[in-house]
A and B are shown apart, each in its own frame.
Chain A
Amino acid sequence: GQNIDQPTEMTATEGAIVQINCTYQTSGFNGLFWYQQHAGEAPTFLSYNVLDGLEEKGRFSSFLSRSKGYSYLLLKELQMKDSASYLCAVMDSNYQLIWGAGTKLIIKP
């Protein structure tokens, strides 16, 4: 079966750095996405990785290791507005997105 695992909840302090991990087992791989979702709102796109390595975009970076079936989202200089759920999704061989359950990130002052 297809499976995406990510922690249910994480807590971090404003100004700090947090890493949200995602491991996956899917039938084929055509890229991994990270989305941010605030409560009651639709997800917004953060990053897309299809090759191994680190992609940096401002305060957010995303890393991928295809051989390990592993990715992480790194958030630096945390701000209160970063409190949200972070969804990991993998595009399988049929170009269908398989979604993780999301990681609720709580930022404390």
Chain B
Amino acid sequence: GAVVSQHPSWVICKSGTSVKIECRSLDFQATTMFWYRQFPKQSLMLMATSNEGSKATYEQGVEKDKFLINHASLTLSTLTVTSAHPEDSSFYICSANHGGDSYEQYFGPGTRLTVT
């Protein structure tokens, strides 16, 4: 159990376009979802935390108008990278927590974004 999926697994887009990444919890309801970014050979960097039905909480330095997060249901959160630029090329990973007494985060497989 506790499977998280992401779509797409990889995407190439042109500079200036927008890209939407979906994160779904397949067999549980995720009270909280997290979005991370990871550059090559670096650790995970938390971008934002989102709770279903409320606005996401962004980490310092992350532009909320550029990285739009929507958590419309307990099983789906989306991250939209607006007006993407080459420096936004990265590995984007979502994770979900189903609450209760468990703080374990279940990670999606990640989305490799390349902006040309």
B and A form one assembly? yes
Q: Name, among B44, B105, B110, the residue most crowded by chain A CB atoms within 10 Å (CB to CB).
A: B44
B residues 59-116 touching A (CB-CB < 8 Å): 91, 93, 95, 103-110, 112
- Which chain A residue lies CB-closest to B111? A42
Contact B103 A48 (CB under 8 A): yes
Contact B43 A102 (CB under 8 A): yes
Q: In this assembly, does A60 line the interface, its C-beta being within 8 Å of a C-beta of chain B?
A: no
Q: In this assembly, does B54 line the interface, its C-beta being within 8 Å of a C-beta of chain A?
A: no
Q: Name, among B46, B106, B107, B109, the residue most crowded by chain A CB atoms within 10 Å (CB to CB).
A: B107
CB distance from B6 to the nearest CB of A (A): 8
Contact B43 A42 (CB under 8 A): no
Contact B43 A45 (CB under 8 A): no
- A36–B91 CA distance with the chains assembled, in angstroms: 16
A22-41 contact mask (Cβ, 8 Å, vs B): 1 or 0: 00000000110100000011
A99-B43 contact given A41-B110, A42-B93, A42-B109, CB 8 Å threshold: yes
19 contacts between A and B (CB under 8 A): A31-B103, A33-B104, A42-B95, A42-B107, A42-B109, A42-B110, A43-B107, A44-B107, A45-B104, A45-B106, A48-B103, A48-B104, A87-B44, A91-B103, A96-B46, A96-B49, A99-B46, A101-B43, A102-B43
> Interface of B with A (CB < 8 Å)?
34, 42-46, 49, 91, 93, 95, 103-110, 112
> Interface of A with B (CB < 8 Å)?
30-31, 33, 40-45, 48, 87, 91, 95-97, 99-102
